[in-house]
Amino acid sequence: MSEYVFALAVNGLVWGLIIALIALGLSIIFGLLDIINVAHGDFFMLGTVGGLVVAVGTGSFWLALLVVPIVGLLLGAVIERLVIRPTLRQASLTIVTTFGLSIIVQEMVRATYGPQPRRMAAPIEGTVPVFGIDYEIYRIAAAAFAAVCLIVFFLFLNRTRLGTWIRAARHDPETATALGVPVTRVCAFTFALGTAMALLGGVIAAPITTVEFRTGVDILPFCFMAVIIGGLGNLQGTVAAAIMLAVLEGLMTSVLEPTSARILSLGFMCAVLLVRPHGLFAGATR
């Protein structure tokens, strides 16, 4: 029994790290462009599908891991230019535009890749004994890789010029413009980067989830929970909340049905929204 609980907690940690990556993408887009991207879950789904297709097509998962996020970066830039930027003036309606985007992405995948769910073989096979249970090596590798990506992201944001620009544009777009930061281009890049992070999360998650056009619909509420509980725009908070929520849900599923666990975390999110609308860790960032 205790091994079983442990395995659920580790599963939660693995998923938490991957979701943290996706939710961070959602969070930087919200923080800078002030839009709620309902299509973000579908970008994750696009990552799982792209990962599977490239890995099966070329025979190399590692190539997929490299190529798909780059495609995501380009795709995000194109979508920002064609769909997001023209509708930014209708700020309250961006949820509607991204909802339309979400319909298009799902239907495109259904039209090309097909409606059947598929599973993908793990690129690293075998299991390793962890505290008395045999655990898949790939899941541990996926968690480690997601953690490395998170560290690289924060280094990029805090140590490079582009990262500084993103933070500056988020803090005060007008002053940033006056100081010569190309805010419009920084916004475009941020949207592209957020999209690429969702696709990257998708490739990492492809071997441990079902790959189909609906996966994004399941993952989106979880990403939103992480972003809200962590505090909208509070990036470290988002990461902490994603990991905490996933581990807690994993532990709760040892005594509850998965849906009951999900209902409890959604209820928790409601409480946070109402009582601490700036997130659980609001005081810590000040």
Decide if 91 contacts 36 (C-beta within 8 A): no
> 171-201 burial, b for 16+ CB within 10 Å, e for fewer?
eebeebeeeebebeebbbbbbbbbbbbbbbb
We find the least distance from the C-beta atom of residue 260 to another protein, in angstroms, to be: 7
Does position 102 bind another protein by CB under 8 A?
yes
We find the least distance from the C-beta atom of residue 125 to another protein, in angstroms, to be: 34
Considering only 58, 277, 283, 285, the residue that binds another protein (CB under 8 A) is 277
We find the least distance from the C-beta atom of residue 98 to another protein, in angstroms, to be: 9
We find the least distance from the C-beta atom of residue 147 to another protein, in angstroms, to be: 28
Does position 103 bind another protein by CB under 8 A?
yes
Stretch that binds another protein, among 79-87, 126-134, 170-178, 190-198 (CB under 8 A): 79-87
Does position 133 bind another protein by CB under 8 A?
no
We find the least distance from the C-beta atom of residue 239 to another protein, in angstroms, to be: 19
Does position 147 bind another protein by CB under 8 A?
no
How far, rounded to the nearest angstrom, does the alpha carbon of residue 9 sit from its chain's CA centroid?
A: 20
Does position 266 bind another protein by CB under 8 A?
yes
- CA angle, 137 then 153 then 14, to 5°: 25
Considering only 5, 8, 36, 140, the residue that binds another protein (CB under 8 A) is 36
We find the least distance from the C-beta atom of residue 82 to another protein, in angstroms, to be: 9
Does position 95 bind another protein by CB under 8 A?
yes
Does position 90 bind another protein by CB under 8 A?
yes
Considering only 273, 283, 284, 285, the residue that binds another protein (CB under 8 A) is 273
Decide if 22 contacts 198 (C-beta within 8 A): yes
| Residues near another protein, by CB under 8 A | 30, 34, 36, 38, 83, 86-87, 90, 92-93, 95-97, 99-104, 106-108, 110-111, 217, 221, 224, 228, 232, 257, 259-260, 262-263, 266-267, 269-270, 273-274, 277
